[in-house]
Structure 1
Amino acid sequence: MWQSNRRYTRFLPPRPSSSETINQALANFVVQAYVPMKIVEHESFRHLMQLLNPQYEVPSRTTVRARIDQQYDDAKKSLLSSLQGSTSVALTTDSWTSNATEAYLTVTAHYIKEDWSMESRILMTRAMPERHTGENLAIRLKDCVDEFGLKGRVVACVHDNARNMDLAGRLCPDWQDLPCFDHTLQLCVKPVMDIPSVADVMSRARKIVGHFRHSTTMTAELRSRRVVMQLPDHDLIQDVPTRWNSSQMMLQRLVEQRRVVTDILLNPRLTGKRDRGLLLTDAEWEIAGDVASALQDLTEATNNMCSDTHVSSSEIYPVVCGLLINSLGCSSDDSALISRVKETLRDELKRRFRPYESETAASIPVVTSLLDIRYKRLNFLTPELKNKTRTALEGMMEEVPLRVHTRDDSQQPPTKRPRFSFLITSPTEATNHEDELDAYMRVNCESDGDPLVWWCEHRQRFPTIAHVAQKLLSVPSTSVPSERVFSKTGRLVTKARNRISHKLVDKVIFLTK
């Protein structure tokens, strides 16, 4: 058949692309699609390329690898140039084990560019065969900082709350060490899941979800019946132990589909006598619904804080204090169990985030709230703590190097010196750091505004504060950017591809971002 297809290649339009252009595109395809390089040796692939361009000679694996190396070198050079133009950089990091039982360490960089757009890049995904001690992790982080020319410009590193990561942070005094918001929130929720009545309902809920997910017949019946019952077209969710919000979502979805789940489990034609015992009692259904509702706002906070494309660290303490005061406040309608759930969450949030302590008020997340036009009033703090935050910002402003303030490039310089140009014409014009901060605080808040857009428009008016804002607003609230690499690399490093070199893994993951 392939022989006969060659007769039709003469009708194809000529391909102007050079062989080198196609080689580069082929290397990019291998990287972006996570396909093995040996695809170039597959007979069907070679036939396809022959059909598309008879003049093109499919390269060897060595050639494709060389092009990937070249693309990596070019991309890294471009990134180094971009990083050199940034005043500061924030990092996230995490370690993990691949499907091929190989350990890796990932580091990502986050910074605000000159045009005030947020940039996030993967710096490295390197094999780490040595023990993951705090000392070894600290050495790897310092080596990464040196490799990318970031020494003295890293403002903070965000990671999970593992002991080895905490130790690594303490061994890197050149930058601030910040815990992951999502991971800390998970630690706050864990004691709730350990309450006996909640734990029992969670266990039974997992069995129900597993019963449906492991049977194609039950799943098909579930989908057909919910259409008849006019329920939302949602499948049941199985929770993941490392993601507490998946447990809340599992309960919420199960309660949503209660009618159809009950209908099927009580049907003797579909469910055996032994499996009918899976069905929750009315009291257990009530617990499932109440716990799902109590944790709803925490799930929303977790999902919203995972982005690496917008400012998030400034929202940490507005969210924490909002949860404490509003979402987890006592209500006369709460059952004894829900009162205990809320009390447990309040105690854990206060213990782990320490929102009402002086040290916290001077921390990077709270100072970023002051720099965020949405939260700069710091309504979640007492007047005393607000002063602590302001003092911390003033100290950072004092560290900003003196530089000549230039006017906006879009404004044309005057052709004639204005009369009495030395006079103070605007009451809000800043003459020193304190005046500049006072003028900034007089600006109205914008609850729906984008802080980066706002600072891009007002950086000339508040140059010193803008310098600090550009430095701190880049700090992410979570280490999720590093964790997202796990799923990418899981598609690349599999048991079937366990011989892929560590250097190639690093380069492919670097190029996919």
Structure 2
Amino acid sequence: MDSPSLFVFSSPLLRYLAFDSTSFIFAMEPAGKRRFSPVWEHFELISPQKVKCLVCSKVLSYNNNTSTMLRHYRVLHGNEETNQVEPGSAEKVDLAELLVDMVIEDSQPFSLVDGSGFKKLMKALAPSYVLPTRQTLKAMVEKRYKETKDKTKAIVAKASACSLTSDMWTSINTDAYLAVTCHFIDETTSLQSVVLGVQHFPEAHTAANMAFMKTSLMSEWGISDKVTCLVTDGAANMGACARELHMRHTICVAHTLNLLVKKALDQCPELFHIRANCRKIVGYFKSSTTAKERLTQMQVQMGLPVLKLLQEVETRWNSTYLMLQRIYTLREPVGAALAGLRTDLTPLSAEQYRIIADCLKVLEPFNYATIELSEEKKVSGSKVIPLLSMLHHSLEEEEIRQLQTPESTSMVEFLQRQLREKLNQLQSMSIMFLATLLDPRFKKVGFFSPSKAAEAEKRLTMECAAIMSRTASSTSSSLSSPSSSSSEPSQSVGGSKLWHHFDASVHQARTTNVTANATVEVQKYLGAPNIPRVESPLQYWESQKYTLPTLYKLAVSYLCTPASSVPCERVFSKAGEILCKKRNRLSPKTLEKILFLNKNE
């Protein structure tokens, strides 16, 4: 056989070196690309349509462009210089980041990039952009998670004190999850909320198991010695978990109000019967298209805005309030619609509507209180005592006293008893009464009992004096000479017995001065006028940071406590959107990362 013939092509992409009758031998060199794309420094062309990463040895497909290589290297190996390697690459980087944002913010699945409609949209908007695979998109999300977690940890590490909320959730796959959120006041005196974790919890829901997981989270985030309070629902295992962790524990006030009002509604037989009838009526209009259309026609004919009936939800008392409020508002069109329909349902009587109207007057302030105490981005823990006090006062107003129906009168008496009991409990909890006293909107005026306000003032003065004493001790020890810290300091200046009385007198004078200084600072704060209720207490403390330095430290510690565990419930609401029927195979680890990014970015 003749020796192989040699042919050389002038193509910048292919240099054909040699062939014989049975095979091709290729040596492909991207000569043109090498001049413009530094990404080739990290990849090797191993076949006409394959390249190998020189860092991790992963083989990628190659189609005469470097988009896949660029994306792989940026996501997995993070070289900043590859973010600007090609004309138009900055646009590609932005699109990749926006795609990750879309998955996180809109709860989109990774398979989004495989959808034909989405591909058509992207081709029309950015023809040159090569969509990543779902695996690459997941890697991009995981990289974002690591970056965001590191940044968030750095922010949390600067907090001097924080409070936690915690709750449990069961997914559609019957998997249990434990969520923990952290709330603190940062260096700019702004309230911050962070999700520490939403972790899969396959173990038994015992206090010991929950305490172990929370201890691990606090250790990971470096806040083990900074937590001032744990807020949970009223479940027994949650309370036992707080005792296991030796933490101050408060029960979510939203849950407390929920239980209180539900008991008030259930203890009246006639009202229980009315609610049952309302649920049947609402269910009928929601399940029958004919009835729904009939109700709409009646509202239009009567010149009323078209509204839908609302159904009661067992776990939320204010859904009962909203159901009764809506059915009372639509009493005339509902009655007219039922009269023209073939149904066994009996419309509510005039007397029953009168009972509903009276109950709505009683419960309206409780609805407003539940909404206000569920705020996450505002100081709320300090509102608990004043708000419950205002609820108690609302039940003593003339309008409520004039209610005539026995059902409403019985409800008012029950709620008054329960509120007095809860207020006595809360006004005895240091985390609550100190937060109220340190809120410049409320101070001593926010307390239900003047005697409890006086006790809170004494406790605040003691806490203030303790901080001043620690500060003075640390300052004196730092200024003392090395010889003064020796094992026998007194003997070097004349013997301990000789100077014992003098040293004791100096210590007593120092203690007296610290207490006096603390009293002066507390009285200066309490003597100033309360700021308007609609103003921010944190802005006040930012302005008083140097005027009332010790009280500022206490305010940062106590005003970060939320009134409820609603922040955790909002996390689980988002978890329910993400872990749906279409995404029921999402792993717990991936779910945690997406939720972390959704809530913390």
TM-score (norm 2): 0.74
Question: Which deviates more from structure 2 when the two are superposed, residues 39-48 or residues 116-125?
Answer: 39-48
- Give matches, 1:224-303, under 5 Å: 224-267=297-340, 271-275=341-345, 277=346, 279-303=347-371
User: Secondary structure at the residue paired with 1:511?
Assistant: helix
Equivalent-residue separation in structure 1 for 2:472 and 2:100 (angstroms): 45
Query: Partners of 1:485 and 1:379 in 2: how far apart?
Result: 31
1:438 and 2:528 matched: no
Q: How does 1:377-392 map to 2 (within 5 A)?
A: 377-392=444-459
The code of the aligned residue for 1:444 comes to P
Q: Does the 8 A contact of 2:167 with 2:232 survive in 1?
A: yes
Kept in 2: contact 1:100–1:495 (CA 8 A): no
Asked if 1:191 is matched to 2:263, the reply is yes
Query: d(CA) in 1 for partners of 2:379 and 2:186?
Result: 13
Residues 1:395 and 2:462 aligned together: yes
**1:481 aligned partner:** 567
Aligned match of 1:176: 248
- Aligned partner of 1:160 in structure 2 is 233
3-state DSSP class of the match of 2:427? helix
Query: Structure 1 counterpart of 2:177, which letter?
Result: Y
* Deviation of the 1:468 alpha carbon: 0.6
SS of aligned partner of 2:403? coil
Matches within 5 A, 1:55-454: 55-173=128-246, 175-194=247-266, 195-267=268-340, 271-275=341-345, 277=346, 279-327=347-395, 331-351=401-421, 353=422, 355-356=423-424, 360-400=427-467, 401-402=470-471, 432-448=517-533, 449-454=535-540
Report the Cα distance in structure 2 between the residues aligned to 1:19 and 1:80, rounded to whole angstroms: 29
SS at match of 2:128: coil
Rounded to whole Å, the distance in 1 between the matches of 2:103 and 2:316 is 32
Once residues 507 and 473 of structure 1 are traced to their aligned partners in structure 2, the CA distance between those partners, rounded to angstroms, is: 29
Displacement of 1:273 in angstroms is: 4.5
Amino acid at match of 2:153: L
Structure 2 equivalent of residue 510 of structure 1: 596
Q: Superposition pairs for residues 484-495 of structure 1, below 5 Å?
A: 484-495=570-581
> CA–CA distance in 2 between the matches of 1:116 and 1:310?
12
2:176/2:202 contact within 8 Å kept: yes
Q: Which amino acid aligns with 1:386?
A: A
> Which moves more between the two structures, 42-51 or 496-505?
42-51
1:254, 1:328 → 2: CA distance?
Answer: 27
Deviation sequence 1:343-381 (CA, Å, 0-9, x none): 111222233x2x236x73452122111111111133534
| Long gaps (5+) in structure 1 | 1-13, 405-429
Q: Indicate how the Cα distance of structure 1 residues 438 and 213 shifts in structure 2: closer, same or farther if over 3 A, else same.
A: same
Q: Deviations over 1:157-213 (max 9, x none)?
A: 11100111111111111x311100010111111222222111101100111111112
SS in 1 for 2:181: strand
Amino acid at match of 2:580: T
The structure-2 alpha-carbon separation of the partners of 1:344 and 1:19, relative to structure 1 and needing over 3 Å to count, comes to: same
| Structure 2 letter corresponding to 1:446 | I
1: CA distance between counterparts of 2:115 and 2:248? 50
Distance 1:35 1:362 in 2: 44
**Match 1:497 to one of 583, 586, 590:** 583
From the superposition, tell whether residues 228 and 380 of structure 1 become closer, same or farther in structure 2 (CA, over 3 Å): farther
Task: Select the residue among 99, 107, 113 that pairs with 1:40.
Answer: 113
State the shift of 1:403 in Å.
Answer: 7.7
Say which is worse superposed, 151-160 or 188-197, in terms of deviation. Answer: 188-197
Q: Report the Cα offset of residue 54 of structure 1.
A: 3.3
Return the alpha-carbon distance in structure 1 between the equivalents of residues 403 and 574 of structure 2.
Answer: 45
Give me the whole-angstrom Cα distance separating, in 1, the residues matched to 2:99 and 2:386. 48
2:447–2:453 CA contact under 8 A, matched in 1: no
Kept in 2, the 8 Å contact 1:361–1:388? The answer is no
Contact 1:377 1:445 in 2 (8 A): no
| 1:230-287 Cα deviation digits (max 9, x unpaired) | 33443211111000011011101111111111111112xxx11423x2x111221112
Q: Secondary structure at the match of 1:456?
A: helix
Out of 460, 463, 471, the residue aligned to residue 557 of structure 2 is 471
Q: CA deviation at 1:325?
A: 2.7
Q: Which residue is 1:9 aligned to?
A: none
Question: Residues of 2 paired with 1:403 and 1:42: CA distance?
Answer: 66
Measure how far apart 1:51 and its partner are: 3.3
Taking structure 1 as reference, are residues 68 and 331 closer, same or farther at Cα in structure 2, changes over 3 Å only?
same
Letter in 2 for 1:342: V
Counterpart in the other structure of 1:409? none
Instruction: Name the CA distance, whole Å, in 2 between partners of 1:511 and 1:379.
Output: 38
| Structure 1 residues 89 and 184, CA gap change in structure 2 (3 angstroms) | same
Contact 1:88 1:153 in 2 (8 A): yes
Q: Secondary structure at the match of 2:90?
A: coil
* Alpha-carbon shift at residue 68 of structure 1 (Å): 0.8
Query: Given the superposition, is the C-alpha separation of residues 378 and 364 from structure 1 closer, same or farther in structure 2, using an over 3 Å criterion?
Result: farther
Which residue in 1 is equivalent to 2:53? none
2:403–2:409 CA contact under 8 A, matched in 1: no
| AA at the equivalent of 2:362 | A
Q: Offset at 1:466?
A: 0.9
Distance 1:76 1:340, change over 3 A: same
Q: Distance in 2 between matches of 1:94 and 1:312?
A: 18
Q: Which runs of 5+ in 2 are unaligned?
A: 1-86, 474-514
Distance in 2 of aligned mates of 1:305 and 1:232: 30
What's the offset of the Cα at 1:122? Answer: 1.3
Q: When the two structures are superposed, what TM-score results if normalisation uses the length of structure 1? A: 0.86
Question: In terms of mean alpha carbon deviation, does 211-220 or 199-208 score higher?
Answer: 211-220
Structure possessing the higher radius of gyration over alpha carbons: 2
| Partner residue in 2 for 1:410 | none
Query: How far apart, in 2, do the equivalents of 1:348 and 1:340 lie?
Result: 13
Q: Compared with structure 1, are the counterparts of its residues 217 and 464 closer, same or farther at alpha carbon in structure 2 (3 Å cutoff)?
A: same
Judge conservation of contact 1:313–1:476 (CA < 8 Å) in 2: yes
Aligned partner letter, 2:253 = F
Amino acid at match of 2:251: P
Q: Which structure is higher in RCO with an 8 Å CA cutoff and minimum separation 6?
A: 1
CA distance in 2, matches of 1:204, 1:383: 45
Separation (CA, whole Å) in 1 of partners of 2:179 and 2:472: 36
When residues 122 and 85 of structure 1 are mapped into structure 2, their CA distance, relative to the original with a 3 A threshold, is same
The 3-state SS of whatever aligns with 1:110 is strand
Instruction: Name the CA shift for 1:56/1:366 in 2 (closer, same or farther; >3 Å).
Output: same
Aligned to 1:367, what secondary structure does the other structure show? helix
State the distance in 2 between where 1:127 and 1:437 align. Answer: 46
Alignment length (residue pairs): 466
**Is the contact made by 1:249 and 1:292 (CA closer than 8 Å) also made in structure 2?**
no
Asked if the contact 2:436/2:446 (under 8 Å) is kept, the reply is: no
User: How far did residue 18 of structure 1 move?
Assistant: 4.9
Residue 86 of structure 1 deviates from its aligned partner by 1.1
CA RMSD in angstroms comes to: 2.1
Q: Distance in 2 between matches of 1:310 and 1:112?
A: 11
